[in-house]
Amino acid sequence: MKDRSRWLPIAQARAPFWAGVDLGGTNIKVGLVDDDGRTVAFHTEKTLVDRGPEDVCRRMGESVRTVAELAGVALSDIPRAGLGTPGPQDLKAGFIIRAGNFPGFDGFNVRDRVSHHAGLPVTFANDATAAGFGEHWIGAAAHLESLVLLTLGTGVGGSIVIGEATIDGANSHASECGHILVDPAPTARMCPCGKRGHLEAYASAKSLVAMARERIDAGTAAGLTQAVAGGAELTPELVWAQAKTGDAASLELIDTVARWLGIGITTLLHTLDPAIVLLGGAMTFGGEPDPVGHAFLERIRAEVRERAFPLLVERTPIRFATLGGDAGYVGAAGMARAEHLRLHPSDA
Amino acid sequence: MKDRSRWLPIAQARAPFWAGVDLGGTNIKVGLVDDDGRTVAFHTEKTLVDRGPEDVCRRMGESVRTVAELAGVALSDIPRAGLGTPGPQDLKAGFIIRAGNFPGFDGFNVRDRVSHHAGLPVTFANDATAAGFGEHWIGAAAHLESLVLLTLGTGVGGSIVIGEATIDGANSHASECGHILVDPAPTARMCPCGKRGHLEAYASAKSLVAMARERIDAGTAAGLTQAVAGGAELTPELVWAQAKTGDAASLELIDTVARWLGIGITTLLHTLDPAIVLLGGAMTFGGEPDPVGHAFLERIRAEVRERAFPLLVERTPIRFATLGGDAGYVGAAGMARAEHLRLHPSDA
């Protein structure tokens, strides 16, 4: 757990406790949080996806017991655990479908197997959705009635939370805000999903790198060309570093990403009118304190200002998320709590 | 009430009853429906908006009493009424804001005044949202968990219903699906809302007429030019009639509307994953039985097929709504029922 500011000594914690599991392609993160969402124990280990789904689920379940032991909390004080995984999923059935990074997981009931190994009922969630729920519970959207979160990473994830409900869809495919159609032109960029013109084709780390590569090839990115020739890897971090030195091409690339995000966010404002829009994930260029991150956010806001209803422009903050890499497990734990309270209203 | 097939003799009705009021710029429609949404009495009268908000609200409230009398139902058997009005609104405060067609209504609490005159508690709703709730309750989306409805009229209205909840937004501005940003080009068509590239700028009756006018002016719409020269008014109905005769320009215009709708619907599928997408309103070209209406719907489906996730294309029906002009008051009544059951769960 990177940020220890949300870490709480167990003596100050408020029971009951909730476990959250965040399954990634590289790492499993497991946290135990108290009833106010404050972390009292954390454990992480490599996913080792090649060991197969049963092994991964066993270790996720055991990690829930591990964090309980680390915190000195009895399993009987943890009513439920939450599990967030990458999609696409069948949330009702409890499994991941057709996820290239998780061979053998298609149709394997991860929810029930983690539940078995943890010895707790499990709430199954999309990882991006869980991250949004985390921000809603204790992060940048705490005390607000709703939010949209765009997670800018390798791809572009989305989360829509309204009240205590997440928007999951009839087929577990809602909140895929990375696939808002932003460019209807036949020449629009190809999205990794195989269709043209989706937001992810313009606003993901992968797209930024692809657009940077195109500029290098076209000879219109002297700074980046020089850096890459000097051995640097072409990454969003390199573009960010170059932008900080004032490199025009890098600044333009980041400006382009921001512009497309503003176009997608306009549609989100008009269809969902959330209380706040958050941007999270690795590709936020250092966040608001960083001059590049600040300019990025301002450019997004300017684009929305030009395209959206003035009332919503005025009333809807657009900000960076605050939970970072903790959002996933905190949100999964929060969703477990919300489901428990729905099932047992007398516990509220 | 145009369609008497949903009309029910009072002897077959199931209590309690729910009143629905649909406020339009021209007409007020008021219906009384039974607990299964079947209409037992209906009344309509001119809105006469120039008489001012108090007069309009008094007549809406009295009309609720009128339909109760028509059906022979005691007011005590009607727990609540629903009121749908055009937006934009402040739903929490109970009034219409800045609606050009309703001078004097800005800030006037229509919800409380109708409640006063009807002698019933009133649920306040957006008219497009109410229409979607009607389709959800007893129309084309009955027994489905969610829907998106696009209402193609002078403008393009939207309704998003998930479970028993309508998506209203933090500022009563959600579900404005007519303002999905479909065209980011600087040359995009201007939307009546004052911003460029929104769906309504391409898929409303007003836009269709504007695009037809442009073709006439450009000399690329011989059939329409001749019809207009012969005294016909340039309306969606004229374009539809010309399309039925095989007029190429008219068919292309309807094709263009369908294409833009498919682009907007793609975004709605990826963000909301509704169980069904419905198209309602006056501009549906005779509906599915009409060859033009059929081609229109097929063109929309084809566009979505090209742009959306295959799983959602396969699983999400795109159909015409079925309640027509009754959707508004039926849905307002249904929303009143849903709110009553939320407030009084023991009545469920």
- The CATH number covering residue B23 comes to 3.30.420.40
Q: How far apart are CA B19 and CA B24, in angstroms?
A: 16
Q: Are residues A198 and A103 in the same domain?
A: no
Which residue range forms the structural domain that includes residue B116?
4-135
Per-residue pLDDT at A8: 84
Question: Does residue B334 belong to any structural domain of this protein?
Answer: no
DSSP annotation string for B19-76: EEEEE-SSEEEEEEE-TTS-EEEEEEEE--GGG-HHHHHHHHHHHHHHHHHHHT--GG
Q: Which of B162, B170, B266 sits opposite A167 (nearest CB)?
A: B162
Least Cα distance to B296 among B328, B265, B327 occurs for B265
Please say whether the beta carbons of B152 and B279 come within 8 A: yes
Q: Are residues B100 and B21 in the same domain?
A: yes
Question: Does residue B339 belong to any structural domain of this protein?
Answer: no
Q: Are residues A121 and A159 in the same domain?
A: no
Beta-carbon separation of A274 and B180 below 8 A: no
Q: Are residues A249 and A297 in the same domain?
A: yes
Beta-carbon separation of B171 and A312 below 8 A: yes
Beta-carbon separation of A309 and B179 below 8 A: yes
Q: Tell me the residues of chain B between 203 and 222 that have a Cβ less than 8 Å away from chain A.
A: none
Specify the pairing of strand A277-280 against strand A146-152.
parallel
Considering the entire predicted model, what is its pTM?
0.96
Beta-carbon separation of B170 and A88 below 8 A: no
Beta-carbon separation of B198 and A146 below 8 A: no
Q: Are residues B131 and B248 in the same domain?
A: no
Residue of B nearest to A192 (CA): B309
pLDDT-based confidence at residue B127 (cuts at 50, 70, 90): very high
Q: Which of B173, B267, B308 sits opposite A311 (nearest CB)?
A: B173
Least Cα distance to B30 among B100, B122, B102 occurs for B122
Computed from CA positions of residues B134, B139, B140, B142, in that sequence, does the dihedral angle turn out positive or negative? positive
Beta-carbon separation of A273 and B173 below 8 A: yes
- Residues of chain A where predicted confidence (pLDDT) is lower than 70: 1-6
Chain B neighbors of A164, CB-CB under 8 A? none
Residue B263 in contact with partner chain A when CB distance is under 8 A: yes
Question: Does residue B286 belong to any structural domain of this protein?
Answer: yes
Q: What is the pLDDT of residues B263-310, one digit of tens each?
A: 999 999 999 999 999 999 999 999 999 999 999 999 999 999 999 999
Chain B neighbors of A198, CB-CB under 8 A? 270
Q: Are residues B197 and B231 in the same domain?
A: yes
Q: What percent of chain B has pLDDT over 70?
A: 98
Task: Domain count for chain A, please give it.
Answer: 2
In angstroms, the Cα distances linking A171 to A92, B181, B192, B312 are: 9, 24, 34, 8
Q: Region B327-341: what's the mean pLDDT?
A: 98
Q: Are residues B213 and B115 in the same domain?
A: no
Per-residue pLDDT at A348: 81
Last residue of a domain, one of B135, B152, B167: B135
- For residue A1, the SS3 value is coil
Shortest distance between the Cα of B167 and any Cα of chain A, in A, equals 7
Q: Are residues A162 and A123 in the same domain?
A: no
Q: What is the pLDDT of residues B161-193, one digit of tens each?
A: 999 899 999 999 999 999 999 999 999 999 999
Mean residue pLDDT across chain B = 96
Per-residue pLDDT at B7: 75
What are the tokens at B110? 């229509």
Q: Are residues B317 and B252 in the same domain?
A: yes
Q: What is the pLDDT of residues B60-110, one digit of tens each?
A: 999 999 999 999 999 999 999 999 999 899 999 999 998 778 989 999 999
pLDDT-based confidence at residue B347 (cuts at 50, 70, 90): confident
Residue B312 in contact with partner chain A when CB distance is under 8 A: yes
Shortest distance between the Cα of A310 and any Cα of chain B, in A, equals 10
Q: Are residues B9 and B58 in the same domain?
A: yes
Please say whether the beta carbons of A108 and A53 come within 8 A: yes
pLDDT > 90? residue B226: yes
Residue of B nearest to A169 (CA): B273
Q: Region B186-205: what's the mean pLDDT?
A: 96
Q: Are residues B118 and B213 in the same domain?
A: no
Shortest distance between the Cα of A337 and any Cα of chain B, in A, equals 21
Question: Does residue B110 belong to any structural domain of this protein?
Answer: yes
Beta-carbon separation of A176 and B273 below 8 A: yes
Q: Are residues B91 and B40 in the same domain?
A: yes
Beta-carbon separation of A177 and B270 below 8 A: yes
Q: Tell me the residues of chain A between 138 and 197 that have a Cβ less than 8 Å away from chain B.
A: 144-146, 158, 160, 162, 165, 167-177, 179-185, 193, 195-197
Shortest distance between the Cα of A196 and any Cα of chain B, in A, equals 7
